[in-house]
Amino acid sequence: MTMQYDTFRREYISGGMSRDMLDTSPIRQFEVWLEQAVNAGLKDPTAMVLATVDEDDLPWQRIVLLKGLSRGGFVFYTNYGSAKAAAISHNPRVSLLFPWNELDRQVIVGGRVEKMTLAESASYFVTRPRESQIAAWASRQSRPLSARALLEKEVQVLREKFGKGQIPVPDFWGGYRVMPERIEFWQGCEHRLHDRFLYRLQPDTSWTIEQLQP
């Protein structure tokens, strides 16, 4: 039996959004929505889809976790040898998507990536669970793996190597900051008449707000 995807639909009834409900700063507005997502009990409120374009001009997406808002930018951490890092090196312009479906909301961020300093990355690395620190050392992210047992063996080797001592920050691991140039807030409404507001960064670092048709 072939599933009929075109029959899947529902009404969005969580409520609308108006211009006077928005903060003049998209970062502050994002923080309000993120807090509401957390308080609503969403399972992964900080999960965001990161879209990049690689050297073959192929767009690619994956989910990463937001780890902070620093200097007005959205922060995440990864292996600097990963496919996403290679794509960022090729084209530092990326997009983020926060899919808060349970609240009939999404936030889309478009901007340019900058690499965080070693001190900034180290400050976060020391707060990670020990097993996550070891995993950062063990994984050569995005490279082929012939058998999972090899990765697990490397993890065990590193556990023995580091013992109970402090684990240093790998020189191939660290943070990125996405500096936003556009941020769109989308609120689902009944009859597909959704509310959309787009913030655009201006040369003087102020933000304009424009309502978009659904």
pLDDT tens column, 81-114 = 999 999 999 999 999 999 999 999 999 999 999 9
DSSP 6: G
CA-based end-to-end distance of the chain: 34
- Number of residues that make up the chain: 214
Domain 12-126+171-212 has CATH 2.30.110.10: yes
pLDDT, tens only, 25-66: 999 999 999 999 999 999 999 999 999 999 999 999 999 999
- Residue 57: what are its φ and ψ, rounded to 5°? 60, 30
Do residues 178 and 96 lie in contact, with contact meaning Cβ atoms separated by under 8 Å? Answer: yes
Please return the burial class of 177, using the count of CB atoms within 10 Å of its CB with bins 0-12, 13-18 and 19+: buried
In the prediction, which pLDDT does 190 show? Answer: 85
Residues in Cβ contact with 43 at an 8 Å cutoff, skipping those fewer than 6 apart: none
The DSSP bridge partners found for residue 197 are 185, 211
Do residues 30 and 207 lie in contact, with contact meaning Cβ atoms separated by under 8 Å? Answer: no
Residues in Cβ contact with 57 at an 8 Å cutoff, skipping those fewer than 6 apart: none
Cα distances (angstroms) measured from residue 33 to each of 3, 13, 153, 193, 202: 35, 17, 42, 20, 23
Check whether 1 has a pLDDT greater than 80. Answer: no
Mean pLDDT value across the chain: 93
Check whether 4 has a pLDDT greater than 80. Answer: no
Do residues 121 and 77 lie in contact, with contact meaning Cβ atoms separated by under 8 Å? Answer: yes
Q: How do the domains of the chain map onto residue ranges?
A: 12-126+171-212, 130-168
Is the pTM higher than 0.85?
Answer: yes
Which among 8, 14, 9 has a CA at the least distance from the CA of 195? 14
Distance, in Å, from the CA atom of 59 to the CA atom of 55, rounded to the nearest integer, reads 10
Report the catalytic residues: 192
